[in-house]
Amino acid sequence: MSDYFPNPNKKDVRLLLHRLVDKYHDPSFIEGDPISIPHEYTLLQDIEITGFWTAMLAWGQRKTIINKSRALFDLMDRAPYDFILHHEEKDRARFEGFKHRTFQYTDTLYFLEFLQWYYKQNKSLEHAFSQHIDASAPSIKDALSGFYNLFFHLDTAPRRTRKHIASPVKGSTCKRLNMFLRWMVRQDDKGVDFGLWRSISPAWLMIPLDVHVERTARKLGIIRLKTRNWATVEEITAFCKTVFPEDPALCDYALFGASVLEHK
């Protein structure tokens, strides 16, 4: 970041974030990013399922994440909602060979079970998050912790699978869930994020904090806390709200792009 400002002050940083957003918040961002997977679908539920599962697999190299996600949905005959809704237990055997890092067959089986249970009762995954938000004091933290409890409320939930769905109550940054919410909620005039969910305001979104975003934010002096946890997410999001009050997650493009895409 010293290439931009040797000793950035808050005004400089805000100007820089606007410049970086103009540079990276563009449809060209889709190619090469995991968001390209849900962009392969048009049905609401297909976008939700592929977006959610891809986001949950999003650690490691982006190319690998995309390839693994595409392989997963190939096993669903490229019709994930139809498969989730109508598959029988015997159909789950085809996923035995699917693995991504620590995400194993046991985890896949429970994801399939939960999503089938959920979609047999609901038309959209939106309600799984929005039902936990108090409109008088809206909090994405409440949405994420409520979703965590909902996701693992089935008696068959394996203990090992809990590590794949984060909760802010446990101090996690919830990077992957915040990224998924960005995809579903942001009203995006560039067509990168989908903006399909309307009961959650883009103004409530939190920054998906990963090592790349953290690196940029620390160089710019946005983050002062020494740790990386939910409090850090609140700190960085609070600053981003001073730049884009109604759309703080827009800063994600600037911070991620400056760390990863500038140095490709």
Query: How many C-alpha atoms does 110 have within 13 Å on its Cβ side?
Result: 19
Task: Say which residues have a Cβ less than 8 Å from residue 115's Cβ, sequence separation at least 6.
Answer: 49, 84
Which among 186, 164, 175, 187 is positioned nearest to 236, based on CA atoms? 175
What's the pLDDT score for residue 250? Answer: 98
Q: Considering the chain, what is the average pLDDT of its residues?
A: 94
Segment 30-52 mean pLDDT: 98
Q: What's the pTM?
A: 0.95
7/245: higher pLDDT: 245
Reported as a pLDDT band with limits 50, 70 and 90, residue 261 is low
Is the torsion defined by CA of 97, 100, 105, 111 positive or negative?
Answer: negative
Distances (CA, A) of 166 to 31, 49, 121, 149, 193: 26, 17, 24, 10, 22
Residue 65 has pLDDT above 50, yes or no: yes
Are 71 and 98 in contact by the 8 Å Cβ rule? The answer is yes
What's the pLDDT score for residue 8? Answer: 64
Residue 214 has pLDDT above 90, yes or no: yes
Segment 121-127 mean pLDDT: 98
What's the pLDDT score for residue 260? Answer: 76
Reported as a pLDDT band with limits 50, 70 and 90, residue 3 is low
* 102 backbone dihedrals φ, ψ, rounded to 5°: -90, 0
**Locus of tokens 């005004």:** 11
What's the pLDDT score for residue 2? Answer: 44
Residue 225 has pLDDT above 60, yes or no: yes
Helix, coil or strand: residue 115: helix
Longest dimension (CA), the chain: 61
Percentage of residues of the chain with pLDDT beyond 70: 95
pLDDT tens column, 244-256: 999 999 999 999 9
pLDDT tens column, 8-40: 677 889 999 999 999 999 999 999 999 999 999
Segment 215-230 mean pLDDT: 94
